Amino acid sequence: MIYHQAIIVGGGLAGLRAAIELNRWGIDTAIISKVHPLRSHTVAAQGGINVAIGNNPLAASDSPETHAFDTIKGSDYLADQGAVLKMCRMGPGLVYEMEHWGCPFSRNDEGRIAQRPFGGADFPRTCYAADRTGHALLNTIFERAVYHEIAIYSEYLVTSLALDDGVCQGLIALDLKSGMLVPFSSDAVIFATGGAGRLYGRSTNALINTGIGTAIPYRAGVPLKDMEFIQFHPTTLFGTNILVSEGARGEGAYLLNKSGERFLADYEDSREKMELSPRDIVARNMVREMEKGGGFEGGHLHLDLRHLGKQKIEERLPGIRELSMKFAGIDPEMEPIPVQPGQHYTMGGIDTDAEGKTVVKGFFAAGECACVSVHGANRLGGNSILEALVFGAIAGEGAASYIEGKEKMREEGMVLDSLKREEEEIKNLMASAGKERVPDLWEGINRVMDDNVGIFREERSLKEGLDKVRELKERSKALALSYKGKSFNYELYWGLELQGSLDVAEAVILGALERRESRGSHFRRDYPVRNDGSFLKHSIVKYTEEEPSLIYRDVDIILFEPKERRY
């Protein structure tokens, strides 16, 4: 049995920031991650982090309150407004903290942190480190964790929580190197496991971004919130879906159809802000343009950077140029980049309050796996790593406060009971003589989500998708593994990931089917109008052995009443 006062699952920006906050309180803290922290998906964030610090000459009158309004408006008014305001007010201090820790932000002529425009914002408030902002932030904060000697267990896959009468006592994790299940006892657990983008085949997300980090607490009784809201990034490389940062459009890149026209001017909701409209609007209008014949063969459009010039591209968008040359075979200084929308972000997640707390005592969540909710129905670019920093710090402080006020008593019996159950389940899976194989079922999930739960949705395809996912869940009971070894058994690893991802896919589709309106990233062709009277509410999905149940909860509206039109 391994014991730490606090255990954080996930080594990305949210998890590392939570660990540093706990360390400040003198709490013995450990991080468990299925990859080395520097391989966490935060490293792939490109464009920047939003904070109202007014370093751009066009943002002199920007403020946290203006940032909050843009965020709430961009969310299609589904974000909880008190949580949004908290995030926007805390953000500047945390960005300056990262700067003081050595984060190499790009600079303006005065030597201050540079800020660029991003979609859905009234001011250019996105701080950046060229187009590798996540890489810069993650390496900076990881160095800080090493400095504080925070324990890190890399290549451990968490498989379950250990609960005793609604109180989290620890967790069970599979040591991928040894193949052994390891019990961890803890006074508090924070999940910061990232998004579930790999439910989709066409995704910008790393392969590690499956649904298991959301599924584990879901199965343990923690509800999921707003799972139907899946963001599709407008610009991913055609054919590979590698992200092409919104920073490119922030620097002035154009989206063009096959006639070389900036077609966004033809659509009312993107006519004013064009390429800097919110992501959901741009992605939908790209699909509409291709549906009416404006796309290139195979289904893509062009992102044109050529007019930005060699110096600007190489100084501010070097990563985009490198990716385009390596994976599309084109130099964006000379040719437009072929792009198409692709799944990018999970707005929904583990249901938490603005302090990172859940219905299970001692269990907290932060970052993309959590739903506070500060993104509502649509996240603004630049707000994801801000959320990770802010709510990572908040969850760390909340867990520390919980531990300080808790009786110094550990119930390790429940952890050992959980260990026995997990050992039995894995033993049965390894011994299974079933005919189903892991790759086939994963391909099935990806196909269903791509085809039935995409940018445009309707009742018929959603019902079909739900039936197919439930069929895949039934088939997964006959899952069998061809490799029986213990050390680095990635067939077992992906089998465990699969089972959790099926539960999360079911929750996504159920939420989308029952939300009979269009709001933010969730667009129903059969219900194309936003319906505040019936659906200005969060969807809450609870797990049961048979089928999940769905209820609704009011949105926190304390600042701005919803307007009919966002833009």
Domain boundaries, the chain: 237-341, 414-551
Spatial contact of 15 and 190, defined as CB atoms under 8 Å apart: yes
pLDDT in the model for residue 165: 87
- Write down the pLDDT at residue 43: 92
Write the pLDDT tens digit of every residue in 406-438: 776 666 788 988 999 999 999 999 999 999 999
- State the CB neighbour count (10 A cutoff) for residue 239: 14
For a pLDDT cut of 70, what percent of the chain falls above it? 99
Q: What is the pLDDT of residue 553?
A: 97
Catalytic residue (one of 67, 233, 302, 316): 233
Q: What is the pLDDT of residues 82-96, one digit of tens each?
A: 999 999 999 999 999
Q: 529 pLDDT exceeds 80?
A: yes
Instruction: Identify residue 386 by its one-letter amino acid code.
Output: L
Residues of the chain with pLDDT > 90, as a percent, come to 93
Looking at residue 545, its pLDDT comes to 83
Residue 199 pLDDT greater than 90, yes or no: yes
Chain centroid to Cα 38, Å, comes to 17
With a cut of 70, say whether residue 24 has pLDDT above it: yes
Domain at 414-551, CATH from 1.10.3720.10, 1.20.140.10, 1.20.58.100, 2.60.40.10: 1.20.58.100
Domain at 237-341: CATH code: 3.90.700.10
Question: Does pLDDT of 546 surpass 90?
Answer: no
Residue 567's pLDDT is what?
61
Query: Taking CA 390 as the corner, what is the angle to CA 387 and CA 394, rounded to the nearest 5 degrees?
Result: 125
pLDDT of 78 over the 80 cut:
yes
What's the pTM? 0.94
Mean pLDDT, to the nearest integer, of 447-470? Answer: 97
Average pLDDT for 335-349: 97
Tell me the helix, strand and coil percentages in the chain, rounded to 5: 40, 20, 40
The pLDDT of residue 413: 81
Asked if the model's pLDDT at residue 547 lies above 80, the reply is yes
Query: What's the mean pLDDT in 171-181?
Result: 96
For the cut 80, the answer to whether the pLDDT of residue 318 exceeds it is yes
Of 140-144, 267-271, 390-394, the one with minimum mean pLDDT is: 267-271
The pLDDT confidence band at residue 563, using thresholds 50, 70 and 90, is confident
Mean pLDDT across 233-240: 95
- Say whether pLDDT at 293 is over 80: yes
Is pLDDT of 513 > 80? yes
In sequence order, the 6+-apart residues with CB closer than 8 A to the CB of 309 are: none
Q: Is the pLDDT of residue 168 over 70?
A: yes
Q: Which of 104, 83, 15 is nearest to 383 (CA)?
A: 83
Q: Per-residue pLDDT averaged across 464-483, rounded?
A: 96
| Separation CA 523–CA 123 (nearest Å) | 27
Q: Measure CA of the first residue to CA of the last residue in the chain; give whole Å.
A: 55
What is the residue whose two structure tokens read 């946290």? 64
Which listed residue (249, 284, 316, 379) is catalytic? 249
233 catalytic residue (yes or no): yes
Give the pLDDT mean for 354-381. 96
pLDDT at site 119 = 86
Q: Read off the pLDDT of each residue in 516-531 and give the average, rounded to a whole number.
A: 96
Q: How far apart are CA 256 and CA 247, in angstroms?
A: 17
How would you class 112 by CB atoms within 10 Å of its CB: exposed for 0-12, middle for 13-18, buried for 19 or more? middle
> What mean pLDDT comes out for the span 518-540?
96
